[in-house]
């Protein structure tokens, strides 16, 4: 709020920013080896087993299905146990999944390995860190989530390294390296995470309260602020919850097939594997403008207006993408300065919108329920694009269909207004905040 001034800050760097930095590093790793980097494994695996594009892409649908079904469970657990404990559970599962994938000999094993990886990464990657960061920021939520999302943008620079690793040691050994990497990176990041700032005598953004209150005998005085938080039951009774699910579903449709099939598509229109990997790197680097620029705007303007801008950029980008080839550098440049900026902005904008509209205390639960709805779009999109290619010999029709969905989502984003908290929930707010403060002993540095 405008009334909060520098005079009300604690000395030194607010601990929430350390969590943002650690999460940025985790996103760089996860994006390089999984979210963006796995496209480098797509053709080598498909070629060895002679699977169709649709069969191979179906694995990503199973990933989406598992992630979506587990999201509410993980979300409810996050609101109770925090991100650190959740990550320490998920990291070894993710590592096991990558090792299992390195040993596959059949299509069903390939699908099963994806499910294991999805189970692990859903407990130790972007969504889990987002919950922690959302808990620690309010006025600067958009900026914090934008910086966190930069890690995913920078991860594109690791894709050529993944491609080189596969070329040098083969896709199976490259997956073993990925499994070991998860065991090294994951626990180190998890130890930095903390659940809620109130447990450590902080307010979101590092603000100090005007009137601290003692919540237990002999305890440090714990800050309480006036803010309004929806429970998940209250959230699902609002129109905005479902409109957010619709525009989130569109975003899943736009993003998942573009990244899963980026290298196969570019190779199909005449680009070499190395050039396709460099283009993917350029996409992720270009997305930084959206992550830091458009994403940060949610601290200053309504998130729905940011969503309208990013969908407009994605419409232009996908139309250009559907016609690109080695002989059309202008279309490639147009794609790189529109679509990546749009999808890059969506990464911080969606959680910022959720936090801004529904509050902090049930953020994990609400985010998980949203994911349960949006997963169906992510499930359908990659195999649909693969089927289009198998049927027509080109991905172009799929990209144009997705561009049409983005165009329709612009007015839907405009209609997604801020919901009003029920009156009875406002009366309970002070009690809820105090109860959160009592959950654990205060003091910075405790888990």
pLDDT digits (tens, 9 = 90+) for 168-213: 999 999 999 999 999 999 999 999 999 888 887 788 888 766 544 4
More reliable by pLDDT, 431 or 419:
419
Who's near 248: CB < 8 A, 6+ residues apart?
Answer: 350, 370, 373, 374
Confidence of residue 433 (pLDDT cuts 50, 70, 90): low
Q: Report the pLDDT averaged over residues 361-367.
A: 89
**Average pLDDT, integer, range 229-246:** 91
For residue 139, the model assigns a pLDDT of 87
- Buried b / exposed e over 324-345, threshold 16 CB at 10 Å, is beeeeeebbebbbbbbbbbbbb
Give the pLDDT score at 327. Answer: 84
pTM, 2 dp: 0.77
pLDDT reported for residue 446? 46
Q: Give 113-128 pLDDT, tens digit per residue.
A: 888 998 898 898 888 9
Q: Where are the domains of the chain?
A: 12-207+215-438
What pLDDT score was predicted for residue 8? 42
Please spell the DSSP secondary structure of 4-15, one letter per residue.
--GGGBPSS--H
Task: Grade residue 441 by pLDDT with cuts at 50, 70 and 90.
Answer: very low
Looking at the chain, the whole-number percentage of residues with pLDDT higher than 90 is 37
Q: How many residues does the chain have?
A: 447
Phi, psi angle pair for 381, to nearest 5°: -65, -50
pLDDT of residue 17: 94
Confidence of residue 425 (pLDDT cuts 50, 70, 90): low
- Could you give the CA distance from residue 306 to residue 353 in angstroms, rounded to a whole number? 10
The pLDDT of residue 51 is above 80: yes
Whether 310 shows a pLDDT value over 50: the answer reads yes
Say if residue 389's pLDDT is above 80.
yes
How high is the mean pLDDT of the chain?
83
Residue 222 has what pLDDT? 45
Mean pLDDT on 289-317 = 91
pLDDT, average across residues 138-151 = 89
Residue pLDDT, tens place only, 80-134: 888 999 999 999 999 999 999 999 999 889 888 888 998 898 898 888 999 999 9
CATH class (in words) of the domain with range 12-207+215-438: mainly alpha
Asked whether residue 256 carries a pLDDT value surpassing 60, the answer given is: yes
Kindly tell me if the per-residue pLDDT of 274 is higher than 70.
yes
Enumerate residues 6+ apart whose C-beta is below 8 A from 404: none
For residues 328, 57, 408, 298, the Cα torsion angle rounded to the nearest 10 degrees is -90
pLDDT at site 227: 63
CA distances, 26 to each of 142, 146, 371 (Å):
19, 14, 21
Q: Using the predicted structure, report yes or no on whether residue 306 has a pLDDT greater than 70.
A: yes
User: Which residue has better confidence, 61 or 100?
Assistant: 100
Stretch 309-322: mean pLDDT: 95
pLDDT of residue 430: 55
CA dist 278 and 280 (Å) reads 5
Checking if the pLDDT of 406 tops 90, the result is: yes
Chain-centroid distance, C-alpha 133:
12
Least confident range of 75-79, 273-277, 346-350, 420-424 = 420-424
Find how far residue 377's CA is from the centre of its chain: 15
Rounded Cα distance, 312 and 289, in Å: 15
CA distances from 90 to 94, 122, 234, 261 (A): 6, 7, 29, 26
H or E stretch covering 447: none
pLDDT at residue 3 greater than cutoff 60: no
**What are the tokens at 38?**
């796995």
Could you write out the DSSP letters of every residue in 218-287?
TPPPBP--------HHHHTTSHHHHHHHHHHHHHHHHHHHHHHSHHHHHHHTT--HHHHHHHHHHHHHHH
Res 150 pLDDT > 80 = yes
Average pLDDT for 385-396: 90
**Tokens 């809620």 sit on residue:** 196
């Amino acid at each position: 709020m405008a009334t909060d001034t520098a005079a009300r800050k604690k000395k030194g760097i607010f601990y929430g920013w350390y969590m943002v930095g650690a999460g940025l590093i985790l996103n760089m790793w996860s994006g390089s080896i999984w979210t963006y980097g796995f496209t480098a494994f797509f053709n080598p695996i498909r070629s060895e087993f002679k699977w169709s594009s649709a069969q191979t892409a179906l694995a990503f649908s199973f990933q989406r299905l598992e992630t979506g079904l587990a999201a509410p469970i993980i979300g409810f657990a996050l609101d109770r146990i925090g991100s650190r404990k959740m990550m320490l559970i998920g990291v070894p599962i993710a590592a096991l999944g990558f090792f299992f994938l390195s040993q596959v000999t059949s299509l069903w094993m390939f699908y099963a390995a994806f499910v294991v990886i999805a189970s692990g990464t859903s407990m130790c990657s972007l969504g889990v860190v987002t919950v922690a960061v959302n808990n620690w920021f309010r006025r600067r939520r958009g900026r914090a989530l934008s910086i966190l999302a930069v890690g995913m943008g920078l991860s594109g620079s690791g894709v050529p390294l993944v491609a080189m690793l596969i070329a040098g040691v083969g896709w199976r050994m490259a997956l073993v390296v990925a499994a070991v990497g998860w065991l090294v990176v994951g626990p180190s990041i998890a130890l930095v995470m903390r659940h809620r700032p109130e447990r450590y005598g902080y307010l979101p953004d590092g603000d100090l309260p005007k009137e601290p209150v003692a919540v237990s005998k002999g305890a440090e005085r714990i800050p309480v602020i006036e803010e309004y938080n929806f429970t998940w039951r209250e959230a699902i009774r609002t129109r905005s919850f479902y409109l957010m699910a619709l525009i989130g579903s569109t975003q899943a449709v736009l993003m998942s097939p573009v990244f899963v099939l980026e290298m196969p598509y570019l190779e199909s229109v005449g680009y070499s594997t190395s050039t396709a990997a460099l283009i993917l790197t350029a996409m992720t680097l270009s997305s930084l403008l959206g992550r830091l620029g458009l994403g940060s705007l949610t601290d200053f303007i309504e998130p729905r207006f940011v969503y309208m801008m990013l969908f407009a950029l994605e419409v232009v980008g996908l139309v250009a993408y559907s016609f690109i080839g080695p002989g059309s550098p202008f279309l490639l440049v147009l794609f790189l300065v529109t679509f990546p900026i749009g999808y890059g902005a969506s990464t911080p904008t969606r959680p910022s919108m959720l936090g801004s509209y529904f509050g902090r205390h049930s953020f994990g639960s609400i985010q998980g329920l949203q994911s349960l709805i949006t997963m169906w779009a992510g499930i359908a999109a990659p195999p649909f694009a693969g089927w289009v290619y198998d049927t027509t010999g080109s991905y172009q029709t799929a990209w144009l269909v997705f561009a049409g969905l983005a165009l329709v989502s612009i007015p839907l984003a405009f209609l997604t207004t801020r919901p009003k908290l029920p009156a009875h929930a406002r009366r309970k707010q002070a009690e809820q905040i105090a109860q959160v403060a009592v959950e654990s002993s205060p003091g910075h540095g405790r888990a």
